[in-house]
Structure 1
Amino acid sequence: MRISTEPGWKGTLARVIFASALLLSIAGCAMVKVTSLGPRDYIAMKRGDVLSSGKLGDVSKETLRVAGIEPDECARDVPECTQRLEQLKGLEDERRISALAEIWTQRAIGLTPKNPQAIDEAALAAWLEAARNAYAYLFFTERSPDERVFEDRQTQVRDYYNYAVQQIVTQLFARWKADAGVTFGPQVAATVGEWRIEMDDEGLRLPGHTTQVEAMVPASTLRFAGLRSTYRRDGFGAEMVAQVPAQVLGEVVAPAAASAGSYGRQTSGGVPVTPGFSEMPFAPVSVLVRFEGGNLAQVLHTRNAVVEPHDPFRVTGIDIGGQPIPLAANFTAGYGLWLARSGFAEQALRSMLGRERGIDRPHLYLMQPYDPQRRIVLMLHGLGSSPEAWVNVANELTGDRQLRQRYQIWQVYYPTNMPIAWNQAQIRNLITDTLAQFDPAGDAPASQHMVLIGHSMGGVIARLLVSASGDHLTDTLLDERRLKGEHGARLRQRLQAMLHFQPLPNVDRAIFIAAPHRGTPVASGRVGRLIGRLVRLPVTLLEQFGEALQDLAEGQGEDASVARSIPNSIDNLRDSDPFVRAAADLPISPRVRYHTIVGQDDMSLHLVESSDGVVPYRSAHLQGAQSEKVVHSGHSVQETPQAILEIRRILHEEALQNH
């Protein structure tokens, strides 16, 4: 009998292959092969998972296969798959529970509606399962988080928890808003299938002490143009932004800025009186979901959960099972969202031109809920500008961990068409009144060692706030008007608040950025005169100072128009303006340490002959400054990285000196 008809070596080869296959089938051995991975495959294998690729990561798939379950089979019936994994003996708790966290995350993603306002109970229940398994893995398995600190798997599971909590809060808030309005607090609860969810908001302090929330926005979904960096704190919990309705903070400053709310609501004779300050209505919030139970078995079988929102400025960490855990936070998202929705750019232009829907008085914004223990950095923008001028400055200061722990940022938004003397008086009163509201005794750290930062015209105003006028301004500006007798006395009395002042006692450091302390020839040039003719003072100012303006007109000895008798902001910035020339000679308080930052747009010029394109160096330079930083820049020098680093250096120095 012939086994093969193949001639020679071919027949021999066929017999060898047949014999080898028969031997392998009898032995039951698998063929093992090896391939080399590139860097992209290496990272994908170690860290790729359902959140990064939409598919289960290798660790979860391996766990399922060890249990004899195919990933596709598990995805078709997650409850059945969960039961099989829970009943499997010999599998480590960490491996099983981490796989379940990812499996439920995959299931929840598939069930979650595309519309974030839609409510789906099955999806919400799946997110709760994902969060609970992740929570159990992180804090109730045999090893503590510290023992796994360098493990990729722990980072993945923490991300499953944080993302699940973000989704839970988003869906619960949509449900609470539909059922109970927009109230946050312990009275808010929800039932989802067998789940009972409650709220514990003891760690949360919202703007204006309100419990009303208009929207809860996941910070991870926001991307900003115009901000150089996004500052976060890695840790445990979901990073959210709570939007407080402007109306619960008080009257709005102007219809154009829906978020420009005021703090509280007062009445005088039945007429609403708007305080001049408010907290930023977009607050960063870090949210946890805790699950009932003191051990692994209890946590894995509970259906009771508590939602815990926290203010990340005040709460940096929490305790779970006796372990200190850092709290995740996003410090940029709320600020960026506020500026993006403020309408400040258009409103600031309207204000300068005296148009409708502008502002006619200063308003002070607190970038976070008032903290009596943190010192205040107060920022003043320049001509035709708004808090948007400080977008990267404020963000970078908030992003600096040490500065964030020591300082809180306040920003003044003021009408830049008004005379400098009027604005400085209004801002001076605004700062004093706001501090008195929060700290009547004036002994909190927030009321001491304030730092002023002013850009351009805001720098001029900042210098006036730390200067003593004596009778110099009154004598210099009014003597030439030939005002005598009753007219002169009445006018001096009327202008007392604007022209006679003392340094703010709360300030002991100031930073002047591109400030035209001695005016600028640009304001007198063709473009400056053109803009000056477009600037209009509000009727309210003319009415308020009508009698004084009439005295000024009479003192000029001519038939002067009342409206032309008072200078606007552009007039005040001219290097020939009597007010700016007189103000340049006022002494700065010896208690105040001050610094200058100036721009130089043409580096080929000698410094003393240069300018930033708007303000000459000679006008921005101040004798006696503790430091002067020259930056190759145009007039918006405050936005340059070099200027921001200099501000940070000064504030770190200030913090050490007043520790």
Structure 2
Amino acid sequence: MIDHGGCPLFGLLHIKSVVHQRLFLATFCQAIALLAITGCGCMRANHLRPPTIVSPSAASCWTGGWLAWGRPFSGQAGIDDFDCFRTQALQRPSPEASIAVGEKAYAVAERLHLQKDRRAIDYWAQTIAWLDDAQRHTGLFHRNDSNTRIAGVRKSAMIRILSCGQTYGRLDPSSHLTLHGANGDVRIPIVHQGFAWRQSDFQRLDVFEPPASAVGNICGRGVPLVVFTSGKACRPTACDSCSQCDGGDSAHSRCGSFLDPQLPFAATALINLPTSIFQPQSGCDGGIFGDQPAASLTLVNPLANETLDAYRGIAKSPAMPLFYARQNSQFKPLAAFMGGDNGIDRPELKFLEPYQADKIPLILVHGLLSNPATFLEVADAVRADTQLAHRYQIWVFRYPTGDEFLASTAMLRQQLAAAFACHSNDAVEIGQRPAQRAVIVGHSLGGLVAKLQVTDSGDRLWRSIANVPLEQLRASPEEIAKLRRSFFFRADPNIGRVVYIATPHQGSPWASRCIGRIGSSLAGSRTRDRQNFQRLTAANPGVFSGEFSDSSPSSVDLLRPTSQLLQALAATPSSRRVVIDSIIGDKLPLPRSGPSDLVVPVASAYRKEAESTAIVDATHTTILRSNATHQVLLKILRSHLDESSSAGCDCLVDRSPMEPSITIESSKPSADVSRAIGAVHACAL
């Protein structure tokens, strides 16, 4: 009990102070919730780890120990000891002798590496050669522990060559590996198998431990790694070519602006080395067991279809470059939300690999307070499927989500047109043009951005915010042109399918509550845009209505169920040439909104014109990581392949209305699922 000395004023002041404290606490909690529920708070920062390197064996001699290496290693003396060791092995050949020589070579290499001696590369190479020589002997690896150790040493030697080869001046990933053999330098050409990238794009290699959570990891032969392109992006010029790029690949040059500089991509390295490289010509013609393979270093595309037997069963980690790109991205979703286009966070369409005429573009558009990395697990699932990896190429659209989303939508429309045009002369046979079959997938706000790529606007959107024709507006030609790009457009004829994931077609109740107002105020730092629009409304009194009546609204404002623009967009049908699919999250009900993913009600995400609707047990922020979502999306993409193949023409015909399909991909109690179905059917009526 607080004594206010009988003065009611003190009591009122105390009450006011308590109220302010509680309001501040509530506001702070809601700000944190804003980050969490919209996706920014769910971006996991799983960093790639360095690869596992096994330690040299302390006792690398075979039974009897008569080749024990007793003297301490010191420079040339240690190398001379190894040469003596190898000579004895050749005099009494056996599988165990080859293994012991390989182990000794590995120990020498590791010690040279500690001294930063470039000869380490040659001894890692000898490790591979001698262990392979032993492996060629039938029935060698009959003990699991021996097999595991030998495989670990060989893989470690490969990792060292791939990781340290450039540092020691021995490896050029675009060209060759140089080894110092017994008879002089040996230059081993590098074969680049199955890549859309050019040979000159292979600028740097880096090896990491495959991310444990990636579904596309496959154990096998070779070492999965990340390749980095050059630091200079290839930009098209007025002559429709690119002087910075070599070769005659015109499509690669014209589409180069959609590839980031130093873009990482996946590869698997295979190394085969004969022991004959390291034996004098006067010595044995081959290894202990005769016939030797040709020396080779091959970089294989793990996303290519495995049509060649030589590359079946290789190790793969197609998600490794995606994890690397996420942990090294300079894009800051929250900064972009609050600050808009700041140079780094500008709207950009990007390819994850060079354009390929036989692959269908799969365009991924992220949601509010997010970035393309939110699709990492989705991209991994697609690339882990051999058929889909062979038939789809992934494009991503990154944009500052605090800006009025029509501007970003217009930018995507413009960049897609340029992307489809940049390879227009490189299409294969009629009926196989992927530009006519592109799939666009949008999560949350990104679903609305995606819808505006497959919709003919007419004047419906403009009439929802203004009561006079655009031409009658008092504005500069530049302002008129900008508004025209945002509000008047046609459906992109190159997109054949749209997949909505947790998309608030009818808005989200959170946008109308205090947390939504906080989000809108955070996005209010775009003062220049707001001031320009305020001048426009002042010059045209009484023309604009709704959320546009006095200022340009933020994307959060446009997600309010009462938004006139959102209602107009929801009422605007998509092109009949486009197939629509929906994936909806149903986790818990929202007050007065029914079943929801905790952000978007099922009723808001449902589209009655969708060919298929899948309801999954997931929240708004986990739906893109849900295995159920992945399986539904993969099924949709396979269906799209079948439909594209059966079309047999260079066009998409208008689609007749179909009976919608609703599936439940959920392990939730039947009552919860029934409630979600009821909400969906209520929307359909």
Deviations 1:592-622 (A, max 9, x none): 222222222326999x722222222221111
Paired residue for 1:219? 208
Asked if structure 2 preserves the Cα contact closer than 8 Å seen for 1:466 and 1:503, the reply is yes
Q: Report how far residue 228 of structure 1 moved.
A: 2.6
2:575 to 579, 582, 589: 589
Paired residue for 2:102? 101
In the alignment, structure 1 residue 471 sits paired with structure 2 residue 459: yes
2:82 partner letter: V
In 2, Cα distance between equivalents of 1:378 and 1:159: 39
In 2, Cα distance between equivalents of 1:264 and 1:531: 45
2:495 to 499, 507, 512: 507
In the alignment, structure 1 residue 69 sits paired with structure 2 residue 66: yes
In 2, Cα distance between equivalents of 1:326 and 1:308: 14
Deviations 1:302-324 (A, max 9, x none): 999554434333475877xxx66
Larger radius of gyration: 1
Question: For 1:214-613, what aligned pairs fall within 5 Å after superposition?
Answer: 215-220=204-209, 228-229=213-214, 231-248=216-233, 275=257, 277-278=259-260, 281-291=263-273, 298=285, 300=287, 306-314=296-304, 316=306, 326-344=313-331, 347-354=332-339, 357=342, 359=344, 361-440=346-425, 442=427, 445-479=433-467, 485=472, 487=474, 494-536=482-524, 538=526, 546=532, 550-557=535-542, 564-602=550-588, 609-613=594-598
1:81/1:74 CA distance change after superposition, 3 Å: farther
In 2, Cα distance between equivalents of 1:65 and 1:483: 90
1:400/1:603 CA distance change after superposition, 3 Å: farther
Q: Report how far residue 184 of structure 1 moved.
A: 4.3
In 1, Cα distance between equivalents of 2:411 and 2:148: 52
Paired residue for 2:683? none
Q: Which moved more, 1:123-132 or 1:327-336?
A: 327-336
Deviations 1:342-392 (A, max 9, x none): 133xx2211111168564631123223333222222111111111121122
1:493/1:334 CA distance change after superposition, 3 Å: closer
In 1, Cα distance between equivalents of 2:325 and 2:318: 12
In 2, Cα distance between equivalents of 1:418 and 1:265: 34
In 2, Cα distance between equivalents of 1:151 and 1:589: 63
Aligned to 1:69, the other structure's residue is in SS state: coil
1:403/1:292 CA distance change after superposition, 3 Å: same
Q: Which moved more, 1:406-415 or 1:359-368?
A: 359-368
Which 5+ residue runs of structure 2 have no aligned equivalent? 1-51, 74-80, 237-241, 246-254, 646-685
Asked if structure 2 preserves the Cα contact closer than 8 Å seen for 1:316 and 1:327, the reply is no
Asked if structure 2 preserves the Cα contact closer than 8 Å seen for 1:466 and 1:507, the reply is yes
2:113 partner letter: T
Asked if structure 1 preserves the Cα contact closer than 8 Å seen for 2:230 and 2:261, the reply is no
Q: Report how far residue 514 of structure 1 moved.
A: 1.2
In 2, Cα distance between equivalents of 1:503 and 1:483: 20
In the alignment, structure 1 residue 132 sits paired with structure 2 residue 118: no
Aligned to 1:536, the other structure's residue is in SS state: helix
1:167 to 141, 156, 160: 160
Paired residue for 1:84? 88
In 1, Cα distance between equivalents of 2:119 and 2:519: 61
Asked if structure 2 preserves the Cα contact closer than 8 Å seen for 1:291 and 1:304, the reply is yes
1:486/1:53 CA distance change after superposition, 3 Å: closer
Q: Which moved more, 1:433-442 or 1:453-462?
A: 433-442
TM-score (norm 2): 0.70
Aligned to 1:240, the other structure's residue is in SS state: strand
1:578/1:340 CA distance change after superposition, 3 Å: same
Which 5+ residue runs of structure 1 have no aligned equivalent? 1-49, 252-262, 267-272
Paired residue for 1:46? none
1:126 partner letter: Y
Asked if structure 2 preserves the Cα contact closer than 8 Å seen for 1:276 and 1:364, the reply is yes
Larger RCO (CA under 8 A, 6+ residues apart): 2
Paired residue for 2:624? 638
Identical amino acids, percent of aligned pairs:
21
Q: Report how far residue 206 of structure 1 moved.
A: 8.2
Q: Report how far residue 455 of structure 1 moved.
A: 0.7
Q: How many residues align?
A: 558
In the alignment, structure 1 residue 176 sits paired with structure 2 residue 166: no
Asked if structure 2 preserves the Cα contact closer than 8 Å seen for 1:571 and 1:577, the reply is yes
Q: Report how far residue 462 of structure 1 moved.
A: 1.0
Paired residue for 2:118? 121
Paired residue for 1:8? none
Q: Report how far residue 334 of structure 1 moved.
A: 1.4
TM-score (norm 1): 0.72
Deviations 1:16-43 (A, max 9, x none): xxxxxxxxxxxxxxxxxxxxxxxxxxxx
In the alignment, structure 1 residue 200 sits paired with structure 2 residue 189: yes
Aligned to 2:597, the other structure's residue is in SS state: coil
2:167 partner letter: A
Q: Report how far residue 120 of structure 1 moved.
A: 1.9
In 2, Cα distance between equivalents of 1:343 and 1:488: 37
1:337 partner letter: Y
Aligned to 1:623, the other structure's residue is in SS state: coil
Paired residue for 1:43? none
Deviations 1:235-294 (A, max 9, x none): 33232222335444679xxxxxxxxxxx9989xxxxxx9945537711223223343699
In 2, Cα distance between equivalents of 1:366 and 1:574: 33
In 1, Cα distance between equivalents of 2:509 and 2:497: 29
Deviations 1:47-105 (A, max 9, x none): xxx97675379xx75xx226x6255669984332322221116x4xx454344334433
In 2, Cα distance between equivalents of 1:559 and 1:373: 47
Aligned to 1:203, the other structure's residue is in SS state: strand
1:401 partner letter: T
In 2, Cα distance between equivalents of 1:537 and 1:459: 25
Aligned to 1:596, the other structure's residue is in SS state: strand
Asked if structure 1 preserves the Cα contact closer than 8 Å seen for 2:229 and 2:261, the reply is no
1:508/1:398 CA distance change after superposition, 3 Å: same
Q: Which moved more, 1:400-409 or 1:518-527?
A: 400-409
Asked if structure 1 preserves the Cα contact closer than 8 Å seen for 2:589 and 2:596, the reply is no
In 1, Cα distance between equivalents of 2:366 and 2:513: 23
Asked if structure 2 preserves the Cα contact closer than 8 Å seen for 1:198 and 1:306, the reply is no
1:521 partner letter: P
